[in-house]
């Protein structure tokens, strides 16, 4: 093998697969937008999903290359972080439910669901980063 | 901090008493007494579950905590996917039952999937690598 080739990081098939799927989503989203003359949310949903898939795979490739992406410690930290996010999200949804039930705050279905999903995802990121910085689950 | 059984019993009784007083004073047209009765019922169930356990058996150890963390992570994933599906179903007008029903369904999905995964993992014995998704895909 050529010595320079050893330095090259070959993309994992999984990352390549996700990038291809993402590009397919983006293309079909653009086609839908063109066909429906920009009306409706289907096209933008497909484009957003495709971009998210492709970007995740690209970031994963540049961050980890051919190395393993997780070990026992990072998996444990990930699971504990998501557990805290599960609890936060459940409490948030229960509070929203009772506020809606009592008529104090009526967000509407889509806003309530979107807010809950955001709280679930953001609290997972915050908790995992906090635990990663701390080093280990105590 | 771990509450003693007698404290739990006292809190549950006070909640139930408050609910009965509220029903007597305000009649049966508010939701707060119902919430208090449900909370009191939940405390009673916790008490029963604690009484069934033998005193020398510890509440949790490293293995049960790990099982719990992995089970709740899976439940988080299922819950978020379910909520995204509910959101898009509402967005496209496929299913619009209202914010209360959707939030209630999401909370139920979180709780039921958590119970199912925790029971499965505790039945299985240990959350080993075979139940971690990134490992299976590689």
> Are B87 and A113 within 8 A, CB to CB?
yes
Residues of chain A below pLDDT 50: 1
Is position B66 within any domain? yes
The residue of chain B with its CA nearest to that of A101 is B100
3-state SS, residue A99: helix
- Pick from B120, B110, B102: which is nearest to A90 by CA? B110
- Give yes or no: residues B71 and B119 share one domain: yes
Is position B87 within any domain? yes
- Give yes or no: residues B38 and B73 share one domain: no
Is position B132 within any domain? no
Residues of chain A neighbouring B107 (CB-CB closer than 8 A): 90, 93-94, 97
* Distance set, CA A19 to CA A46, A58, A68 (Å): 14, 7, 19
Least confident of A6-15, A64-73, B3-12, B124-133: B124-133
Is position B88 within any domain? yes
- Give yes or no: residues B116 and B72 share one domain: yes
pLDDT tens-place string over residues B25-76? 887 677 788 888 888 898 888 888 887 776 666 667 778 888 889 999 999 9
> What is the structure's pLDDT at A96?
93
pLDDT tens-place string over residues B77-94? 999 999 999 998 998 889
Probe site for chain A from B22, B84, B99, B102 (most A CB atoms < 10 A): B99
Between positions 70 and 129 of B, the ones with CB within 8 A of A are 70, 72-73, 75-77, 79-80, 83-84, 86-88, 90-92, 96, 98-100, 102-104, 106-107, 110-111, 114, 127
Is position B137 within any domain? no
Nearest CB among A76, A97, A117 relative to B104 is that of A97
- Give yes or no: residues B46 and B66 share one domain: no
Determine the Cα–Cα distance for residues B98 and B83; give it in Å rounded to an integer: 14
Is position B25 within any domain? yes
Determine the Cα–Cα distance for residues A47 and B47; give it in Å rounded to an integer: 51
Range of the domain at B34: 5-52
**Domains held by chain B: number:** 2
Nearest CB among B75, B77, B106 relative to A93 is that of B106
> What is the structure's pLDDT at B57?
63
- Give yes or no: residues B38 and B69 share one domain: no
């Amino acid at each position: 093998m050529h010595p320079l080739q050893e330095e090259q990081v070959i993309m994992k098939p999984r990352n390549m697969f996700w990038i291809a799927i993402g590009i397919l989503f983006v293309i079909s989203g653009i086609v839908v937008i063109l066909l429906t003359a920009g009306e409706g949310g289907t096209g933008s949903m497909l484009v957003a999903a495709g971009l998210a898939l492709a970007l995740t795979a690209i970031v994963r490739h540049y961050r980890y290359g051919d190395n393993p992406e997780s070990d026992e410690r990072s998996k444990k930290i990930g699971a504990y972080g998501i557990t805290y996010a599960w609890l936060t999200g459940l409490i948030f949804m229960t509070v929203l439910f009772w506020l809606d039930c009592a008529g104090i705050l009526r967000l509407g279905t889509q806003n309530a669901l979107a807010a809950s999903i955001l709280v679930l995802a953001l609290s997972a990121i915050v908790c995992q980063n906090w635990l990663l910085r701390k080093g280990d689950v105590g | 901090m771990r509450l003693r059984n007698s404290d739990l019993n006292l809190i549950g009784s006070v909640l139930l008493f408050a609910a009965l007083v509220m029903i007597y004073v305000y009649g049966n047209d508010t939701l707060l007494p119902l919430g208090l009765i449900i909370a009191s019922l939940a405390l009673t169930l916790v008490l029963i579950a604690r009484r069934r356990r033998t005193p020398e058996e510890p509440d949790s150890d490293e293995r049960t905590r790990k099982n719990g963390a992995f089970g709740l992570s899976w439940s988080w994933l299922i819950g978020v996917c379910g909520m995204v599906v509910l959101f898009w179903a509402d967005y496209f007008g496929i299913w619009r039952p209202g914010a209360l029903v959707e939030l209630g369904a999401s909370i139920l999905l979180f709780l039921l999937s958590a119970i199912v995964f925790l029971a499965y993992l505790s039945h299985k014995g240990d959350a080993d690598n075979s139940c971690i998704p990134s490992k299976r895909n590689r």
